[in-house]
Every structure is written in C-alpha cells, then in structure tokens.
Amino acid sequence: MEGLRVVIAGPTGSGKSAAGNTIFGCSVFTSAAGSCTVTQACESAEEEVEDVGKLLIVDTPSPLSQGQRRRCLQLCAPGPHAFLLTLRVGRYDEEDRNQLF
C-alpha cells in the first residue's frame, strides 16, 4: 500500500471517528456525540484525497488494549506516518492521560 497512513488516538468521547470523517469529507466511521464508546475495535478506511493521494486512516477505540495496538499496527503496516491525538474540550485530567498511555 502506498500513500499516507494516519492513526487517530484519544480518550473516549474526544471525536476520533468524527475527525476521520471530517478529514475524508464523508461518513466512513460510525460516530455519535457523547461520552460513551462507539468504536469497539480498530477500523481503517482508505480514500483518494486531492493533493495527498491515497490516505489510510485508522480509527482506534478507547482504552486501547495491547491487542488493539497490534491490530492498529497491522492495519497501517508498514507503519503509520503520523498520529493524530484528539482530546475532549475542557480539562485534560489523569483519566485522559491513563487512557492514552
């Protein structure tokens, strides 16, 4: 696979799936407003993007288990070019930090 590979990570309710949909300009990932988990497992989508070419985005669940980390790396092999970190609007707290690391 050629092109750009991006992994979107962040705490539950921070808009990871919505960010992926915004980047693609269409609804490819299931997204809902709120603080509950919608994405249950790493998912990927690939689109042709003007001025970029092929763009593969991996949407991740929260929290990200060891198994899901492996799945994420498999989906974007030979490895991601970038990570997009999403955060909830408001205060960044210990719970947010623990979900990410």
pLDDT tens for each residue of 56-94: 999 999 888 899 999 999 999 988 999 999 887 777 777
- CATH number of the structural domain 4-100: 3.40.50.300
Cα four-point dihedral sign 50, 87, 29, 8: positive
Q: How confident is the model at residue 100 (pLDDT cuts 50, 70, 90)?
A: low
- Rounded to whole angstroms, how far apart are CA atoms 56 and 96? 26
Q: Would you say 44 and 76 are in contact if contact means Cβ atoms under 8 Å apart?
A: yes
pLDDT at residue number 99: 63
Average pLDDT over residues 13-39: 84
* 79 DSSP assignment: -
Among 40-44, 61-65, 95-99, the range with the most confident prediction by mean pLDDT is 40-44
Residue % of the chain over a pLDDT of 90:
44
Task: Identify the residue with better confidence: 87 or 43.
Answer: 43
- Rounded to whole angstroms, how far apart are CA atoms 57 and 43? 8
Average pLDDT over residues 17-29: 92
Whole-angstrom CA distances from 26 to 19, 22, 23, 46, 99 are: 11, 7, 8, 12, 27
Whether the model pTM is above 0.75: yes
pLDDT at residue number 38: 73
